[in-house]
Amino acid sequence: MLSHSQAVPISRIEVKSFTIPTDFPEADGTLEWDRTTIVLVQVSGGGQHGLGFTYADTATATLIHNTVVPFIEGMDAMSPPAVYMAMWRRLRNLGRPGICSMAISAIDCALWDLKVRLLNVPLVTLLGQVREAAPVYGSGGFTSYSGRQLAKQLSSLGQPGHSAREDEDRPRHKARS
């Protein structure tokens, strides 16, 4: 097993995008869509792989592949904060919001996933657990869904692994270590 102080060069970064049709047209009251695009990033180093993703346009995958990958390959996978700052410096003149933030987010998640795999510890252990439980929420409730579709979608949030505290309306999920 590696230690926190051992450097592990990022040996490979793969990026792919997939556009997936939704089962029904979806809308949230401001926008309507019938497909979702996901950008997947796999970062490799030290014989392990980490996976990150973002929901973004395919332009985000192009930005990652052409602008970010050549800049961060070879950097230390054991230091995600340093890689994060390097990405921000590289993309500074392109603007912080939008696809730049989504690109950085996908790579950052992949790097943290890679680091926990290299160290063979859960992320909560690596970062340091503060609370025994953390609030989570379920997304959905699309305005374009019928009453039956909404009921089915939202009722799944009460399945095992989710519980509501009396003083909150939000489901909670226990952290695992």
Please tell me the total number of residues recorded for the chain in this structure: 177
Residue 2 within any structural domain of the chain = no
| Cα–Cα distance for residue pair 174/177, rounded to 1 Å | 10
Q: In the chain, how many domains are there?
A: 2
Residue 1 within any structural domain of the chain = no
List, edge to edge, every strand of the sheet that includes 32-45: 12-27, 32-45, 48-55
Q: What is the CATH number for 63?
A: 3.30.390.10
Residues 138, 169 contacting (CB under 8 angstroms):
no
pTM for this model (two decimals): 0.78
Residue 6 within any structural domain of the chain = no
**Residue 43, amino acid:** V
Same domain, 67 and 143: no
| Cα–Cα distance for residue pair 164/153, rounded to 1 Å | 17
Same domain, 143 and 114: no
User: How many CB atoms are closer than 10 A to CB 47?
Assistant: 9
Range of the domain at 52: 12-123
Percent of the chain past pLDDT 70, that is, above it, reads 85
Same domain, 118 and 163: no
Same domain, 37 and 80: yes
16-55 pLDDT per residue, tens? 999 999 888 888 888 888 999 999 999 999 999 999 999 9
